[in-house]
Structure 1
Amino acid sequence: MWPPFRSSSDTKLTMFVTDICRSVTLKFHEETHVKGVQAYSYLAEKTMLGNEEDDSSNNCFCLSDATTCLPSGGLNLSSCQFNAPAVVTYPHFLYADPAYAATVTGVKAVPEEHRMFIDIQPEMGIPMNVAARMQINIVFERIEGISFFDNITSRIYFPIFWFSETAQLDESMAKQLHLVTHGLPMYTTIGCVILLVSGVILMTIGFVIFLRHRKNKSNTKAYKQVQS
């Protein structure tokens, strides 16, 4: 959860992901609705997994050698995952340097299907629709003396699998959230208007009664003076 009462000027969401040992940042994209409830949509930035040429803040993920400095769009996980020759990218090498897909067939990146996003209800700070998507790739390189690798002429980033962890409000929760964010404020406003109008009416009635009482009292006093 995030602090409530967000505005569209809150342009970024940042969170730490333990599986890749780094923070990820999602940028405000648009106002949308999830099951009829208002939401702000945040997308993972295209340069989030970029190298220092695309994003200077990522220079700490490159240790200035050939094994850790990757083409833009991939993050070396070796120092995070027990020196495993693994690289994380977006699914189907979305937003990545063409070098990743050049040695692999069958990949086709579709942003709507492979991007990472979070939709947040701004008044409550509650995530309503989430999709965390990443791809795990194993690095293959030519190793002298091992015939199995003889046909490898350049580094290959071979996709092992990609995953999509998603969550969305169900209809029941959406109705409750709609009641809290729209119904209750509307009922509160209507109740305040009714109380205000009722108060004005009661004050008016009380003022009229006061004036009549004062007038009757004045008439009685004048009548007694005439009689005397």
Structure 2
Amino acid sequence: MMHKQSKKCLIIIAVAAIICALLTSAFLWILLNFESIVDKKLAQSISITPGSAVYSNWVCPDTPVLFSIYLFNITNRKEILAGAKPRVQEIGPYVYREKREKTNITFAGDNDYSNVTFNLRITYFLDRDLSVGDPDKDRIVGLSIPFVAMSAGLDAGTGPSDTEYSFLTLFATPQLFVKTTVTKYLWGYVDEILDACNSFTPDKCPSKKVGIMFGKNGTDNGPFTIDTGVNDISQVGRILTYQNKSTVDVWSSAEASMINGTDGSQLAPNLKRNSTRYIFANDLCRSFLLEVKGPGKLTNSKDLKVYLVGGTPQTALPASKYPYNKGFCAPKTPGPECPPQGLFDLSSCRAQGDTRPPIYSSQPRFFGADPSLREAIDGMVQPTTENSETKVYVEPKTGLVLEAYKRLQVSVYVRQAKAMSDVYQNFTKRIFFPLAWFEESAVADGAALNMLHKNLYVMPKIMHIILLTLFGLFLAVFVALALVLVVQAVLYCCSPRRPGGKAVSSAPWVADDVRYQPVNKGASRGIPLAEGGSAKA
């Protein structure tokens, strides 16, 4: 009976040890592959597919985006025409809230989510509380963009001819400066000379209206086709085509015309300290190389680790110092063939028709640009890294942009055309005249950042600790059971057995074949009777 119980106990211990061994092995495998499991789950979360963690926010971002506009009001227009240095006054901000949404979203196929095509629509709503004044009432003096465009076109031979220009002056009075409201100067107004040009030569002047932001409010931009990251998460958000083309038809080299990187709202994940990333700025018709500048700090979170990302120093260099940038010298620009340091040609990208203003972009207040550009204008605010540089803060694991301050200035190149000398008078300088600068800012709220930090760092750490604890617990139990099993097996194997396999009695001094018989009444006490029942005297 005791033997059967021991054997049953051994079996139970062995089964328990095997179960513990299997569980220990399973937890060990999970621990060894924990990082790759987390990475795979993360890749599923940030891929741009229906049902992923980022999809709804990708379609219509819930992070507020503010679009702040600062204008350069000209304060000495009469003196300028007399030959004096231009003087400006920076006014603003006029703040608009952006509503961004993707429209006409189409995936590659019914069961193919490898890429997605869409249009981007941005609608601007004035925030009067954050604005410095009422843009519908506030008036400014600015350059007449259509006049500057015609002046450049006359010199380049792409705009109206001298005869056509003289004819247009019969219907409109040309002037270098215009005084109007902030709203009209930004979002568009009907210009007299442009109206006349459009009526007689619509191919050279396709629109009657002009404005720095004309045609940008509530209109669809695209289509874009991007990689969703389903097959390779390192490609998530990469622009495959823009307006159904994989290159732009603007620049003079094939490399400069390539569309590289994402749209800037998301970068490829796993950003390292020495990483570089490309973004494609469709408003500028070109790609930019970004680099990690160092660790950054978020406004609404102290826990999340982020990197500050910005442009490389070579991007702003003139072609004479960095030959690669010669590819960005537009072949048919109404301005200088290659812009000076810190300026980027926009005229070939944004303007339409033969009569195009020579527009250039830069960082606000010519920050990081050729010093001579600022020296040509009086009254500009001193630029600093804090108030004039574009800053992007990226979470390195996901590549998500959590805070950004995109800053851009628009300037126009002014030079006198001979046929317009009566309008320019004594203003004979060739300068880049600043029109306005913009800041597009987005700051993720604290609740969203806390949730992201919890999901990226806290929960994986807790899961790792739990797995380590369970692994250690089951390993300890397995070792204990294994030791007990070994001891029991040794005891079981070392126990004496009968020939038939039965265990020996626990009293080994009693012979196995002894048979106790009843005591004979006549026999002496304590002496066993011999076989046959008689005792010897």
The structure-2 alpha-carbon separation of the partners of 1:61 and 1:176, relative to structure 1 and needing over 3 Å to count, comes to same
**1:41 counterpart (308, 315, 335):** 308
The range that moved more, 86-95 or 57-66, is 57-66
Mapped to 1, the partners of 2:374 and 2:480 lie a distance apart of 81
Matching residue of 1:109: 383
Q: Is the 8 A contact 1:78 1:84 kept in 2?
A: yes
Opposite residue 42 of structure 1, the aligned amino acid is V
> If each structure's strand is expressed as a fraction of its own residues, which one has the higher value?
1
Question: Where does 1:112-191 land on structure 2 (aligned, <5 Å)?
Answer: 112-144=386-418, 145-191=420-466
Distance 1:32 1:221, change over 3 A: farther
The offset of 1:218, in angstroms, is 4.8
Q: Deviations over 1:115-156 (max 9, x none)?
A: 123222111121112221110012222233443412322212
- The aligned residue for residue 343 of structure 2 is 74
With over 3 angstroms needed to count, the CA separation of the structure-2 counterparts of 1:124 and 1:221, relative to structure 1, is: farther
User: Where do 4+ consecutive residues of structure 1 move more than 4 Å?
Assistant: 63-66
> What amino acid maps onto 1:201 in structure 2?
A
1: CA distance between counterparts of 2:387 and 2:321? 23
TM-score when normalising by structure 1: 0.88
| Cα distance between partner residues in 1 of 2:475 and 2:272 | 36
Contact 1:72-1:96 within 8 A present in 2 as well? yes
Tell me the residue number matched to 1:53. Answer: 320
Equivalences for 1:82-101 in 2 at 5 Å? 82=352, 83-101=356-374
| 1:17 correspondence with 2:297 | no
- Alpha-carbon distance in 1 for matches of 2:330, 2:444: 42
What is the DSSP-based 3-state SS (H/G/I as helix, E as strand, rest coil) of the residue aligned with 1:142? coil
Partner of 1:210: 485
**Alignment identity in percent?**
20
Query: Given that residues 309 and 393 in structure 2 are in contact (C-alpha distance below 8 angstroms), is that contact kept between their aligned partners in structure 1?
Result: yes
Does the CA contact (< 8 Å) of 1:14 and 1:23 recur in 2? yes
Tell me the alpha carbon deviations over residues 158-200 of structure 1, each in whole angstroms, 9 at most, x when there is no partner: 1111111122221111111111221022112201211111112
Alignment gaps of 5+ in structure 1: none
More off after superposition, 36-45 vs 46-55 = 46-55
- Could you say what the CA RMSD is over the residues aligned between the two structures, in angstroms? 2.3
Deviates more, 1:203-212 or 1:85-94: 203-212
Q: CA deviation at 1:212?
A: 4.4
1:16 Cα deviation (Å)? 1.0
Structure 1 residue 215: Cα displacement: 4.9
Count residues in correspondence: 227
Query: Structure 2: which amino acid aligns with 1:46?
Result: P
Give 1:20 deviation, angstroms: 1.0
Q: Secondary structure at the match of 1:79?
A: helix
Q: Which moved more, 1:145-154 or 1:166-175?
A: 145-154
Return the offset for 1:224.
Answer: 1.2
Structure 1 residues 3 and 143 mapped into 2: Cα distance closer, same or farther (>3 Å)? closer
Structure 2: gaps of 5 or more residues: 1-265, 498-502, 513-537
Higher mean displacement: 118-127 or 140-149: 140-149
Q: Which has the larger radius of gyration?
A: 2
Measured in 2, the distance between the counterparts of 1:28 and 1:56 equals: 23
Query: How many Å separate the matches in 2 of 1:112 and 1:209?
Result: 70
* 1:164 alignment partner AA: E
* Aligned AA (2:358): P
What whole-Å deviation, never above 9, does each CA across 1:43-92 have from its counterpart, x for those lacking one? 12334233202322110222578633222111122211222221111100
Q: Deviations over 1:5-36 (max 9, x none)?
A: 222232x2211111111111222111234322
For normalisation by structure 2, the TM-score amounts to: 0.40
Change in CA separation of 1:221 and 1:4 when aligned onto 2, cut-off 3 Å: farther
Q: Which range moved further: 89-98 or 73-82? A: 73-82
Deviates more, 1:92-101 or 1:152-161: 152-161
Aligned match of 1:6: 271
